[in-house]
Amino acid sequence: GESVGLHLPTLSVQEGDNSIINCAYSNSASDYFIWYKQESGKGPQFIIDIRSNMDKRQGQRVTVLLNKTVKHLSLQIAATQPGDSAVYFCAESPYTGTASKLTFGTGTRLQVTL
Amino acid sequence: DAGITQSPRHKVTETGTPVTLRCHQTENHRYMYWYRQDPGHGLRLIHYSYGVKDTDKGEVSDGYSVSRSKTEDFLLTLESATSSQTSVYFCAISGRANTIYFGEGSWLTVV
């Protein structure tokens, strides 16, 4: 299948460097945030999530930072690898007990150069 | 792998014909969702289900209907396909509230 979002902002990083992908959200009532990774021709893959009562959460090679004051979310990928090349997008939601209120961003394309 | 199977994965159909996309899950999750993904837009919710025979509309439900007769299956139907419905359709499931897991997508082209 073809890629979706052909005119996305692109972040180009060298293999081994750290990547920082940013997301601005608009709803001050959002209480829950998720980062997804989407490779070409595939479905979005859950990476990491964070609730609004936290400002940082770490996973394997990934860290999500939340700044509620300026409504900003970032995803940090340590030691970026070629397999990290994909589109990354954030999602936000009021924590309603259902994902029906999730709002998705359009994404950033990460290109890893050798 | 979230245990979600979508079918068909690719389909080309003519304007005005009915189309049904199927989503099958093996996780026994309560919630199932249908999204569409288009360039310049984030994923947009079409319909979702919170149990057998329990469904509700999402942001872009016009022109679509859904049915869920079994926990594991959620069908999306385009009663009369239009070119504006050319898109990539993703099924998603969630057991834990708010965190959803996506299938691999169904590419639909309406000519």
Q: Quick check: B75 contacting A, CB < 8 Å?
A: no
pLDDT at residue B9 in the model? 97
Tokens of A41: 């021709």
Q: How far is B52 from chain A (nearest CA, A)?
A: 16
Q: How far is B90 from chain A (nearest CA, A)?
A: 7
Determine which of A64, A98, A108 to mutate to test the interface with B (most B C-beta atoms within 10 Å).
A98
pLDDT at residue A4 in the model? 38
Q: Name B96's bridge partners.
A: none
Q: Position of tokens 């099924």?
A: B91
Q: Do B107 and A34 touch (CB under 8 A)?
A: no
Express each pLDDT in B98-111 by its tens digit.
Answer: 678 999 999 999 99
Q: What are phi and psi of A93, to 5 degrees?
A: -160, 145
Residues of A with CB below 8 A from B38's CB? Answer: 4
If you average pLDDT over residues B40-61, what whole number do you get? 94
How far is A101 from A92, CA to CA, in rounded Å?
A: 8
Q: What percent of chain B has pLDDT over 90?
A: 88
pLDDT at residue B111 in the model? 97
pLDDT band at residue B95, thresholds of 50, 70 and 90?
confident
pLDDT at residue B97 in the model? 60
Of A6, A44, A100, the CB nearest to B102: A44
Residue B26's CB is within 10 A of a number of other CB atoms, namely: 12
- pLDDT < 50 stretches in chain A: 1-5
How far is B38 from B21, CA to CA, in rounded Å?
A: 17
Q: Which chain A residue has the Cα nearest residue B35? A: A100
Q: Which chain B residue has the Cα nearest residue A50? A: B99
Q: How far is B40 from chain A (nearest CA, A)?
A: 6
B41, pLDDT greater than 50: yes
Q: Name B4's bridge partners.
A: B25
Contacts of B29 (CB under 8 A, 6+ apart): B93, B94, B95
pLDDT at residue A1 in the model? 36
Q: What is the 3-state secondary structure (H, E, C) of chain B?
A: CCCEEEECCEEEECCCCCEEEEEEECCCCCEEEEEEECCCCCCEEEEEEEECCEEEECCCCCCEEEEEEECCEEEEEECCCCHHHCEEEEEEEECCCCCCEECCCEEEEEC
B42, pLDDT greater than 80: yes
